[in-house]
Amino acid sequence: MSEPASEPSAQSQYVLPGRPVIGILHPGVMGAAVGSALKPVAGAVIWAAAGRSVTTSKRAELADLVGVPDLPELARRADVIISVCPPEAARDVAEQVAAALGDRPERPLYVDANAVSPATVRGIAELLGPDHVVDGAIIGPPAWEPGRTVLWLSGAASPVVAGLFEGSPFTARLLDGGVGAASGLKACFALQSKALPTIWLAMVEAARAFGVQDALRDELTRTGVDLAAALDGVDARATGKAWRWVGEMQEAGDALAGVGVPDGFSRAAAEMYRRMADADPVDRANIWGLRGGAV
Ligand SMILES: NC(=O)c1ccc[n+]([C@@H]2O[C@H](COP(=O)([O-])OP(=O)(O)OC[C@H]3O[C@@H](n4cnc5c(N)ncnc54)[C@H](OP(=O)(O)O)[C@@H]3O)[C@@H](O)[C@H]2O)c1
């Protein structure tokens, strides 16, 4: 199911074994879906148990992934490593892999599929070797059936990675521009999907501070804006994820700043998600009127 959008600028030297061992760091909600999608083409899809929560272990078990004791063991065994973790941990995970590999001559292919800035993924490519790193950006929900989620890939070895996802629930698509292009795309998309909706939270919080919340709601209703629906939409999408979107929005801000575009939208979104993640549910309802409550 891979759909090349365009050819990458450089061809890869990579030839994977017929059924590669694929390591997932780590089987979160998305990582478990990625690991499961790759089982048909892999000799084994492995994950590293050390340091992970019971929730992650259960997810890995449900997805029928093979546990190994720790990350160094995973790094030693894997032909391909896919990093799918909170964006702020992406560099740290790559450093752990680099340390585990030491000067092993056969380097695994490393896919950073996190919502990080182009600078972060390029730094990871410098660390692990530019020819060995593919930049990935997942747009859509954890994919258990085809049609909703695209894995964008850039970097010389991206066709090799796209090949692994053929026929899987993830549609792999290739981007020109080398390592950094896929992450740049994700940062742009996230302006719409994650930064834009936080305008509602900032607006309502400011209206409460000015004591004009009722007048604001009246004006919005009068002009055809359904504030409750907008707030419910933010809440439904961000509940349980707001903590992770703080890091993602900071990385998106770094991405924009890196190309001279104002990064304030992304930084403000990071702050709104931080407030959302830190607030208890009653405070959230009081501050933002989430889930249809009063403004
Ligand atoms: N979920 C989505 O809909 C979605 C959509 C598009 C892209 N993505 C991308 O996928 C990535 C992961 O998202 P997710 O939904 O799978 O998140 P998640 O369910 O929270 O899972 C994160 C995984 O990373 C592990 N982890 C947590 N803190 C870590 C740390 N400091 N260092 C290393 N690993 C750590 C967690 O393990 P423990 O909890 O066991 O410690 C868990 O296994 C993100 O980069 C995100 O942008 C997700």
Q: What is the pLDDT of residues 47-93, one digit of tens each?
A: 999 999 999 999 999 999 999 999 999 999 999 999 999 999 999 99
Residue 292 Cα to ligand 1 middle (Å): 29
In what helix (H) or strand (E) does residue 44 lie, and over which residues does it extend?
A: strand 44-48
Question: Highest-confidence range of 150-164, 201-215, 226-240, by mean pLDDT?
Answer: 150-164
> Could you tell me where in the chain the CATH 3.40.50.720 domains are found?
2-187
CB 110 within 8 A of CB 128: yes
241-281 pLDDT per residue, tens: 999 999 999 999 999 999 999 999 999 999 999 999 998 87
Report which DSSP code applies to 68.
E
C-alpha of 59 from chain center: 18
- Whether 49 is in the pocket of ligand 1, judged by its Cβ within 6 Å, is no
Residue 56 Cα to ligand 1 middle (Å): 10
User: Could you tell me which residues are beta bridge partners of residue 149?
Assistant: 170
- Mean pLDDT across the chain: 92
Closest CA to 294 of 234, 231, 233, 238: 231
Query: What was the pLDDT predicted at 106?
Result: 86
147-165 pLDDT per residue, tens: 999 999 999 999 999 999 9
Query: What was the pLDDT predicted at 6?
Result: 38
Separation CA 92–CA 98 (nearest Å):
10
pLDDT band at 10 (very low <50, low <70, confident <90, very high): low
**Topology of 2-187 in CATH?**
Rossmann fold (3.40.50)
- Whether 56 is in the pocket of ligand 1, judged by its Cβ within 6 Å, is yes
Residue 163 Cα to ligand 1 middle (Å): 24
Residue 225 Cα to ligand 1 middle (Å): 34
What secondary structure does DSSP assign to 231-292, as a single string? Answer: HHHHHHHHTTTHHHHHHHHHHHHHHHHHTT---HHHHHHHHHHHHHHHS-HHHHHHHH--TT
Q: Residue 241 CA: which ligand 1 atom is closest? A: 20
Q: Residue 115 CA: which ligand 1 atom is closest? A: 47
Q: Residue 137 CA: which ligand 1 atom is closest? A: 7
